[in-house]
Structure 1
Amino acid sequence: MKHQLIIPSVLYTGEGSIAESIREVIAKEQAKKVLVFTDKGIIGAGLLDLLLDALKEQETAYEIFSDLRPEPSYEDVEKIRRQAENSEGDLIVAFGGGSVMDAAKLVSILKGSDYSVKDLLADPSLGRKQMKSVAIPTTCGTGSEATCNAIVAVPEEEVKKGIVNTAMIPDYVILDAQVIKKLPKSIVAATGVDALAHVVECYTSKKATPLSNTYALAGAKLIFENIREAYCNPDNMEAKSNMMLGAFYGGVAITGSGTTAVHALSYPLGGKYHIPHGVSNAILFAHVMKMNKEACAVQLAELCDAINPSLFEESIDAKADYVIGQIEDIVKFTEIPTDLYSFGVKKEDLDFLVDSGSKQTRLLVNNRKELTLDDIRSIYLKVL
C-alpha cells in the first residue's frame, strides 16, 4: 500500500532564529519585495519588528497586510486577496496565528488567478501555487504552518469549512519560540490543546499511516510533556520551543492523516457562536474520545505507551482511559471552559448543532467510530 506525506521544503528552528532564517530565504529566492500577512495585535505587541528589522537590514521592500479579523470568513479573505492583487511581490510571509497563516496560504494560490475563495470552497482542486510562502507561527498550536488546509467561516451557513489543497503547504517554516515568550496564558492554553487534539485525532484516524503516525506520536509526546509547564511558567523557553515543534508535527500529521470528530463537531461552534477554535476543540475533546474509545482503544493505548511507559503492563482499556483522563486534566489545568454555557449556547440550539455537525463529512469519515445522529446529540448534550 502506498503512503504519501507532503511537508514544507525547509524548516528552521531555534530561539532567535527569525532574522538569520529570513535572510537566508530572501537570498535563496532572490526576493525584492515581501508581502507580509499579520494582524494588528501582533503589530501592537511589537512582535513584527523581529521580522521587519531583518527585512530592513537586507534592504528588502515589504508591504504589510493586517486587515484580517480572527476566525475570518471567506469574504474577509477575499477582501485581503483583492488588496494584495494591487501589489507586486516575490514572496509571501505569514507572521501570525492560524487565521493569518490560513489567509496567507490562500492568497499564495489566489493572487493573479481567475478563481475566488468561494470557488475553492466548491472545488479546492482549482488552486495552483502562484507565489512561494514562508510561515512564522506566533502561537504554539494551530499547525497551519505545516498543513495544506485553510479554514474559513461561511456566514450564510453559520459554520466553518476547510479548503484542502497541497499547493498551500508553505515552502519555508520558521519556528522561533521568542515570538511566544509573552504569549497570554489563555492563548497558550487554547492553541496548545488544539495541537494536542491534532496529534491524538490524527493518530486515531482511519486514514492514519505509518508516516503520519511517526509525527503524531512524536508531537503527542512533546505536547503532553510540556503543555502544563508552558502554560504556568512563561519563562520556560524550552517548554515553549517543544510546544511549537509538537504543534508543527501535528500539522504534518494532519496532512498525512486528518483530524476527526473533535474538529468536525467544533466547526458549528466557531461558525455560529464565534467560539475560538482551540477552545471549542478543548470543550469537546475528551467527550468525543470517550465516545470513540471502543473503536480506537488500541491507538490510545499506544499513545499511552509513548507518554507514560511506566504503565506498559496495564491493560489496553486502562491505558486508553489514562490518555482520556490526561486530556481532561490538561483542559482543567489550563483553565479552558468545559461547557458552552458562557458562550450563550442554549439547549434549544441542539438541533442546529447536531444537523450542522453531522454535515462535516470531510472529517467525520476519518473517525474510527461511525457516529450516529444520536451519538452526536449525546456529545453536544454533555457540554451544554
Structure 2
Amino acid sequence: MENYQIKIPACIFGGEGSIDKLKEVITKENAKKVIVFTDKGVREAGICDMATQKLTDCGVDYEIFDNLKPEPSVYDVDNVIKKTMDVKGDLVIAIGGGSVMDVAKLATVLMGAEYTVFDLVKEPSLAKKKIKSVMIPTTCGTGSEATCNAIVAIPEESSKKGIVNDMLIPDYVILDATLLAKLPKKIVAATGVDALAHAVECFTSKKATPFSDTYALASAKLIFGSIKEAYKDEDNLKAKGDMLLGAFYGGVAITGSGTTAVHALSYPLGGKYHIAHGVSNAILFSHVMAFNKDACADKLAMICDVVNPEITGKTIDQKAQYIIEQIADIVKYTKIPTRLEQFGVKGEDIDFLVQAGSEQQRLLVNNMKELSLEDIREIYRKVM
C-alpha cells in the first residue's frame, strides 16, 4: 500500500475581517518586536496599515522592510536578511504577494543562522526554523503562504531555483479578501492564472496523492469559477475571497505533490527575461497541458466534472480538451500577453530556453509525460 502525507500551516484564519485575528496571534506568541516584510506598492496602497494598526493596538514594536524586489535574486534575499540582523524580532509577518512571502519565509530560517541563502540553494536541508511567521497574502495567487518552497533567481544561470524544506511552512496564515479590494486587474490576472496552474499541475502530477488531489480539485473549482468575476469587478470581494481560498488550496496541493512542466519551463523566462512569474506560466499553460493531454486526459476530465458538472455525454478526451480550452480562454479574457516576442525574446534565444528549461528536473520529473529536448523546443516555438 502506498503511503502519503501532506503538511500545512498550523493555524489558518479566513473570511472578510480575519485580519483582526492578528491580535490573537500576537497575544498567543507573546510577541514584543515584530519584523514586517512588504513591498512599496502594498505599503503605498495602505494595505500594510491594516495589519500594522493591529500591532499598534497591541502595543507591539515593529520594523518594516519594504524594499523588496519582485522575483528576488539570491543576492537580493541575502541583502535583505543582512539588514534584519540587528532588529532582534520575535515574530515575522509578511504582507504581500509571493515574492514578499518567499523572502519572509527564508528570513525565518536565516536570521541568526550560521548558513546563508547561498548555502540553502545548494543544500536546502540545512534550514532550521529560527522564528515563527504569519503570512498575509494580498494577491489572488502564488500559494506561497501554504508551501514549503521559496523561489529565488540565480543570475549566473539566468534561471530560478526552489529552496524546498518543511521548515519554510508558515505557522499562521490570514486569508482576508478585504486586503485585495484595491488589487490591480493585471495582478488579479497573473496571480490568478498562476494559482490555477498550481491546481491543474498538482492534480496531473506523477506525485499526486489523495491528499493533494483533494486540495487541487477544490482549488480548481474555486478558481475556474471566480477568476473572471474577480478580474472584471474590483468590488466583488466574494469572487476575490474564492480566489484567495483557491490559491491557498493550490499551495497546499504543491506541498503534497508538486507542479510540473508549466512551472519548469517558465523559470528561465523569469530568470533571464524577468517576465512576471504568473505571466510566464500563463503563456505556457495551455500549450503544456495540450502536450500532456494524452497522458492525463482522465485527470483533466475529472477537473471538468468538478468545474462544470453540467457537461454530460462527452468523452474523456472531449472533457480534457474543454479544460485546456478554458485555460486558454481565461488567459485571453484577462488580457495576459501570450507571445514571448512581446517581452523581447527572439528566435535565436530558443537554444538557451531549451537547455535551461530541461535543467529544471525537480519539476520535470513530476510531469506525467516525459519531455525530450525537441518537445521542449516545440512548446517554446508555439509561444514565440
Q: Same fold (TM over 0.5)?
A: yes
Aligned to 1:7, the other structure's residue is in SS state: coil
Q: Which residue of 1 aligns with 2:336?
A: 336
Over residues 236-278 of structure 1, what are the superposed CA-to-partner deviations in whole Å (9 max), with x where a residue is unaligned? 1100000000000000000000000000000000000000000
Segments of 5+ residues of structure 1 without an aligned counterpart are none
Which secondary structure state, in structure 2, belongs to the residue aligned with residue 48 of structure 1?
A: helix
Q: Distance in 2 between matches of 1:103 and 1:220?
A: 27
Aligned to 2:112: 112
**1:70, 1:328 → 2: CA distance?**
25
Partner of 1:362: 362
**Cα distance in 2 between the residues matched to 1:334 and 1:67:** 29
SS of the residue corresponding to residue 92 of structure 2 reads: strand
Q: Which amino acid aligns with 1:4?
A: Q
1:205 and 1:47 mapped to 2: Cα distance?
A: 36
Letter of the 1:2 partner, please give it. N
Provide the residue aligned with 2:139 in structure 1: 139
Q: Which residue in 1 is equivalent to 2:14?
A: 13
1:144 alignment partner AA: S
Q: Distance in 2 between matches of 1:310 and 1:40?
A: 44
Q: Which runs of 4+ in 1 moved over 3 A?
A: none
The one-letter code of the counterpart of 1:296 is C
Structure 1 match to 2:57: 57
What's 1:249 paired with?
249
SS of equivalent to 2:310: helix
In the alignment, the residues of structure 1 paired with residue 68 and residue 230 of structure 2 have an alpha-carbon distance, to the nearest angstrom, of: 28
Q: 1:289-348, CA deviations, whole angstroms, 9 ceiling, x for partnerless residues?
A: 000011110100100010111224311100000000000000000000011111000000
In structure 2, distance between residues paired with 1:142 and 1:132:
20
**Which residue does 1:285 correspond to in 2?**
285
* Alignment-mate amino acid for residue 67 of structure 2: D
Residue type of the partner of 1:247? A
> What is aligned with 2:377?
377
Question: What TM-score, normalized by structure 1, do the two folds share?
Answer: 0.99
Residue 189 of structure 1 and its aligned partner are, at CA, apart by 0.1
1:164-208 Cα offsets, whole Å, 9 max, x none, are 001000000000111111100000000000000000000000000
Q: CA deviation at 1:15?
A: 1.1
Counterpart residue number, 1:155: 155
The number of residues matched between the two structures is 383
CA distance in 2, matches of 1:359, 1:128: 27
Unmatched tracts of structure 2, length 5 or more = none
Equivalences for residues 29-108 of structure 1 within 5 A: 29-108=29-108
1:123-272 superposed matches below 5 A: 123-272=123-272
CA distance in 2, matches of 1:123, 1:54: 37
1:21 & 1:74 partners in 2: Cα distance?
32
2:302 maps to 1:302: yes
Partner of 1:4: 5
| Secondary structure, counterpart of 2:163 in structure 1 | strand
**Cα shift at 1:16:** 1.9
* Inter-partner Cα distance in structure 2 for 1:10 and 1:306: 27
Percent pairwise identity = 65
Measured after TM superposition, the shift of residue 66 of structure 1 is 1.2
